[in-house]
């Protein structure tokens, strides 16, 4: 017996081929375990900072992190992995999970590490369906 949830693209039918579906629950989909947001703060001269978010899933889950960084007076821009600061120096933004935590890390170059800074972030940690 074939059952589940299928959502088709406009002008298509749910009985059409997989390519014409928006969602087909017969295939693995990301399932949200937890999500949240916060502020990562750095202290001038420390080179950056790391936030640790516990998940205790016992495996390395998939995750997504996005954020905003101060850019000029009362302006913000989205994080990228590398933020060029001039003189071939840049700040790096990264995230990575282990079996118990998600780490969100900012490393500042010498040009950026002269003042205290704050970075906002949002995260989602996903279940691995094979472990449920």
User: Tens-digit pLDDT profile for the chain (132 aa)?
Assistant: 366 787 888 888 888 887 787 777 776 677 889 999 999 888 888 888 899 999 999 999 989 888 877 666 666 666 655 554 555 566 778 889 999 999 998 888 777 778 788 888 899 999 876 665
Model pLDDT, residue 130 = 66
Residue that is written with structure tokens 């589940």 in the block: 4
DSSP secondary-structure letter at 74?
T
Query: Is the pTM for the entire model greater than 0.85?
Result: no
Class of domain 30-131: mainly beta
54 pairs with which residues across the strands?
101
Model pLDDT, residue 1 = 39
Of the candidates 23, 106, 96, the one whose C-alpha atom is nearest the C-alpha of residue 55 is 96
Residue that is written with structure tokens 């937890």 in the block: 34
């Amino acid at each position: 017996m074939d059952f589940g949830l299928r959502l088709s693209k406009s002008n298509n039918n749910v009985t059409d081929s997989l390519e014409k579906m928006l969602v087909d629950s017969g295939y693995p989909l990301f399932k949200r375990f937890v999500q949240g947001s916060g502020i990562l703060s750095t202290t001038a001269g420390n080179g950056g900072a790391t936030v640790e978010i516990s998940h205790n899933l016992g495996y390395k889950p998939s995750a997504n992190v996005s954020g905003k960084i101060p850019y000029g007076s009362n302006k913000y821009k989205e994080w990228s992995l590398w933020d060029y600061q001039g003189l071939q120096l840049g700040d790096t933004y990264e995230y990575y999970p282990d079996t118990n935590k998600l780490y969100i890390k900012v490393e500042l170059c010498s040009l950026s590490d002269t003042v205290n800074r704050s970075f906002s972030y949002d995260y989602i940690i996903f279940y691995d369906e094979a472990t449920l």
